[in-house]
Structures are given as C-alpha cells and as structure tokens.
Structure 1
Amino acid sequence: MTSTTDPSCPCGSSLTLDKCCGRYHQGEPAPTPEALMRSRYAAFVLGLSDYLLATWHPSTRPAELAPDPDAEWKSLSIISAEPPIENIGYVHFRACFYERGRVQKGWHVLEEVSRFVNEQQRWWYIDGTPTLTRLKPRRNDPCLCGSGRKLKVCCGE
C-alpha cells in the first residue's frame, strides 16, 4: 500500500516516484523510449545530472551537464510516442518551466522531438530537435503546471 506522503512522480503519471521514474533512477532499465523520456524529465526536475549523463548515448553525450538552478520545471506533456522501429524510437514532448534568472525570467515551454536507440538491451537518448518559446500567461489563465487551478492561485509569479 502506498502512503499518501509518498511524493508523486514529476513526470505527470499518477504513480509515486518510487513506483514510476525513481526505479529507473536507481538502475532499472527503462523499457521504452517514452519511459526513458519521462525518467529523464523527472531527473531534470530533481537535479539528477548523473542519471541524465548515464542515459545519454556515448556518441552524443556531453562531457558534463551542470544543473540549472534557475529553471523550475512544472509539467510534461507527451505529444506522441510512436512504437520503435528497428531499435530507433522518437518521443515528441512539451515541458513547461519557470525561469528565475535575470535575463530570461518568466514562463517558457521547451518542445522537442527526441531520438532514442536501443543498444546493449537498453534505451539511450541520442539527440533531439528542440524549440524554446517564451510564454506570457495571464494571472487568470490555467496554471502551466497542469493543476487545473488559475495561475494566480497556483504557481503564479
């Protein structure tokens, strides 16, 4: 039985972190490109740079990945996740975040079609085609975190 104090998974599933992406963060291989994408998003939320690097294919992996303390990730939406063909999979997603930095302060959405490959019996992130858009939600708009509440009473600036 799950305790009501268990944190929900940042990826937006209805599961707790330990039953969802947390198990992948602990070393269990993600079974699909979508599961890997969700676990990578959760790792961004939780600041797990080591996991992000460990799931990045060695051919495209950066030498290091510093966490961004100014980005507060709020929600993930999977637009499409087609069944993989010949060990290649694609996941199209949108992730909303609030940037607390001085230059880019405000709401943004990162949209990307990510490419994954299955090698050595595990999925790896290869690369993606990202676009970053600054958003200008109004106080009475629905909150970008997906809560269904108005921005001003939820994650408002």
Structure 2
Amino acid sequence: MTLPAPKVCPCGGAPTALKRKGSEVAYADCCGRFIEQGELPPDALHLMRSRYTAFVLENAVYLQHTWQAAHRPESVDFDEGAKWLGLEIKDFVDTGIQDGQATAEVEFVARVRVTGKAHRLHERSRFVCEQGQWLYLEAI
C-alpha cells in the first residue's frame, strides 16, 4: 500500500541555484515527477532523493523498479508506523564508466523514528545507468 502523495517533497528538494536554504519544494515538482509521472531521474543524486521519498510513501513498486535486477530483493518491507524525519546528502560523486555504463555514488544520512525510537541510516550507495535509466545497486 502506497501512502498518499504529500504537498511538500519529503526529500527536501535537490539543491539548485534558485532554491533558498530551508525553502519547501512541491512534491509534484520534485520527486513526484519521477515516482508518479514516470520521468527518469537525470542522475544518481535525483534517484537517491526519489528513492528516499518512495520509502517515506511506502511505494514498493517504485523502489523495485529502480533497483538493478541483479541486486533487487523479491519484496520491500516497511517498518510499521515509521516516521521519516529527513534526508541529508553528504556526498555525490560520478565514479566514471564501468563496463560501458556510467556509475556514481551517493553518501547520505536518513533519519527515521520507529516505535518512538530515532534511528540514523548513514550509507554510501552505488548506482549504475543502464540504457539511460539510473538504478540503485547496493550499499558499500
């Protein structure tokens, strides 16, 4: 079950020259265009942000669709009652071309509260671009 789309994007909005720090970005103008409208994220950073938002919305279909096939689990489980508190991107690096495909890494911290207890997920993730579509590979 996917939760209803929010007005403000949970990812906080990708940094741009036009966005002021602390300003809100509409979901439809941010991750909603990838999750709801089928637009392909232009890079691993946008994919990372949209996958965080998909976790917030418990959208297993989008998560499965954006997971590289060789690493994709059979199902995605969500913590009941999880309240996602924010995403902070620490680093984003294009790591070059491997086997003819663009690769990248994103380091992030996602904060979540489950059954009243706060958790921080600090991860560096690898991504690959296959046939024009960025896909999540794995945490390293």
Could you say which TM-score interval applies, normalised by the shorter chain? 0.7 to 0.9
Q: Which runs of 5+ in 2 are unaligned?
A: 1-5, 14-23
Tell me if 1:37 matches 2:48. yes
- Equivalent position to 1:23, from 24, 33, 39: 33
The size of the alignment, in residue pairs, is: 120
The one-letter amino acid of 1:78's match is: I
Q: 1:67: Cα distance to partner?
A: 2.4
Note the alpha carbon deviations across 1:46-83, whole angstroms, 9 max, x for none: 11111001100000000111222232111000000113
Q: Which runs of 5+ in 1 are unaligned?
A: 1-5, 130-157
> Which residue is 2:127 aligned to?
116
Q: 1:84: Cα distance to partner?
A: 4.3
- The Cα RMSD (Å) is 1.3
Note the alpha carbon deviations across 1:69-101, whole angstroms, 9 max, x for none: 23211100000011341111000000111011x
Q: Does the 8 Å CA contact 2:79/2:114 hold for their aligned counterparts?
A: no
> Identical aligned pairs, as a percentage?
38
> Which residue is 1:72 aligned to?
83
How far apart are the structure 2 equivalents of 1:80 and 1:89?
Answer: 11
How far apart are the structure 1 equivalents of 2:125 and 2:82?
Answer: 20
> 3-state SS of the aligned residue for 2:122?
strand
> 3-state SS of the aligned residue for 1:85?
strand
Higher relative contact order (CA 8 A, sep 6+): 2
Tell me if 1:62 matches 2:73. yes
How far apart are the structure 1 equivalents of 2:93 and 2:45?
Answer: 9
Moved more, 49-58 or 69-78: 69-78
> 3-state SS of the aligned residue for 1:41?
helix
Query: Which of the two has higher C-alpha Rg?
Result: 1
> Which residue is 1:95 aligned to?
110
The one-letter amino acid of 2:41's match is: A
Q: Does the 8 Å CA contact 2:40/2:133 hold for their aligned counterparts?
A: yes
Q: 1:15: Cα distance to partner?
A: 1.6
Runs (4+) of structure 1 exceeding 4 A deviation are none
